[in-house]
Amino acid sequence: MEARARYRRILLKISGEALMGPAAFGIDPDTLNRFASEVADVQRLGVEVALVVGGGNIFRGVSGASLGMERASADYMGMLATVLNALALQNRLEQSGVHTRVLSAIELQALAEPYIRRRATRHLEKGRVVIFAAGTGNPYFTTDTAAALRAMEIGAEVILKATKVDGVYDRDPMQDKSAVRFDRLTYLDVLNKDLRVMDSTAISLCRDNRLPIVVFNLTVPGNIRRVVLGENVGTRVEENV
């Protein structure tokens, strides 16, 4: 029997660090290829896919500010790093036969279309993967907040937050092997326990609009498809548990 997707339209948030794979900087070709293949697989289920990608594998605005740069300038540099990642993803997806559009919150006429909400939704309706680049276009806002904002603007049914761990823990599982993983959480749980699923602005936006978040491990092949099919993967954050 043909698999049936739980969601019609999703927003997938991927960190720039996830594209590094085993490397310490930049984009790992094997990781990029696998990710593009999984996105293509999900789209074949009839799911409309939008992406927000971070830029931490190239430059992080917060890190630049900590080194003495003006925060706004550092954040704009971070936005440009997300554009590099978005273009790399677009190239690989289109090599896989997936029609893709990059929409940037900062005008970059030669590289990407400007972000216009109705244009984005029209691309999705036509079966194109849409990659949102340059965050919100404003300094002091993270790509997590951009993901929450864009998800609501395009009417996504869920945010899929791709990470390097298999869900949300009560403390860092990389540093403490006794850390406990949560299967489900409320938005208030995340805020009150400071669990850092996404930044507080993003969580508050999702809470106000009752937009669920699923946090899962991107490094496990096939996980994106499993989440889209509604399997119990990772941690789900929603209004009621």
Is position 178 within any domain?
A: no
d(CA 72, CA 220): 36
Q: What is the pLDDT of residue 146?
A: 97
Is position 190 within any domain?
A: no
Is position 174 within any domain?
A: no
The CATH number covering residue 114 comes to 3.40.1160.10
Q: What is the extent of the structural domain holding 131?
A: 9-168+197-238
Please tell me the total count of domains within the chain: 1
Q: What is the pLDDT of residue 164?
A: 85
Is position 177 within any domain?
A: no
Is position 91 within any domain?
A: yes
- Res. 60: pLDDT tops 90: no
Is position 2 within any domain?
A: no
Is position 179 within any domain?
A: no
Q: What is the pLDDT of residue 123?
A: 98
d(CA 177, CA 166): 13
- 237 burial class (0-12, 13-18, 19+ CB within 10 angstroms)? buried
Please compute the mean of the pLDDT values over residues 100-112 and round it to a whole number: 97
Q: Is residue 231 helix, strand or coil?
A: coil
Is position 185 within any domain?
A: no
